[in-house]
Amino acid sequence: MKARFEVNGHEVEVAVEPRLTLADCLRHHLRLTGTHVGCEHGVCGACTVLLDGKAVRSCLMLAVQAEGSKVVTVEGLSKDEGLTPLQASFRKHHALQCGFCTPGMITTAHALLTEEPECDADRVREVLSGNLCRCTGYVSIVEAVLDARTAYKGGSR
Ligand code: FES
Ligand code: FES
């Protein structure tokens, strides 16, 4: 089947098996390997991407279901020149170690901060509770997200 959607601002048309997940389509057909695949069961959050602005698990949907949508991966949240405020905050707070969970953390946090730039620590913890990290203990991740709120309030992300 053909699946046509937008990825990081570019229209794509991919020939896929109907059973192919969006995660595997992004990684293997479009070479966007920043989207990680951990559990493949919707549990770990490593595969989180933005679908029409909402954080979704790309392992839980089929590529053909993205037809007509706007998909943004962690690559699409980066800039050529330097780190974004959210990325810089993760570095500043040592919010990553192995980095496997980081793309999902960044995409999830970006969606949260875009919609709720005034969110507090409890809200950050609630939203990130669906993203597993086996390294950091989460405290530094929550601090990084809270510290990045300023950039989203100013709209300069
Ligand atoms: S790989 Fe999708 S939630 Fe774990
Ligand atoms: S930094 Fe290793 S899993 Fe989160």
Question: What residues contact 98, with CB distance under 8 A and at least 6 apart?
Answer: 134, 135
State the pLDDT at residue 155: 64
Cα–Cα distances in angstroms (integers) from residue 51 to residues 22, 105, 139, in the given order: 11, 15, 27
What is the C-alpha to C-alpha distance for residues 135 and 12, in angstroms, rounded to an integer? 35
What is the C-alpha to C-alpha distance for residues 128 and 45, in angstroms, rounded to an integer? 9
State the pLDDT at residue 79: 85
Cα–Cα distances in angstroms (integers) from residue 58 to residues 1, 21, 49, in the given order: 18, 7, 6
State the pLDDT at residue 116: 97
Q: Is 37 in the pocket of ligand 1 (CB under 6 A)?
A: yes
What is the C-alpha to C-alpha distance for residues 45 and 39, in angstroms, rounded to an integer? 8
Residue 24's nearest CA partner among 54, 52, 49 is 49
Give the ligand at the shortest distance from the Cα of 38.
1
The pTM assigned to this predicted structure is 0.96
Atom of ligand 1 nearest to the CA of 39: 4
Q: Is 57 in the pocket of ligand 1 (CB under 6 A)?
A: yes
Regions in the chain scoring below 50 on pLDDT = none
State the pLDDT at residue 157: 60
Taking a C-beta distance cutoff of 8 angstroms, is the pair 116, 54 a contact?
no
pLDDT tens digits for range 24-59: 999 999 999 999 999 999 999 999 999 999 999 999
Q: Is 45 in the pocket of ligand 1 (CB under 6 A)?
A: yes
Percentage of the chain lying above the pLDDT 70 cut:
97
Give the ligand at the shortest distance from the Cα of 44.
1
Tell me the pLDDT of the chain averaged across its residues.
96
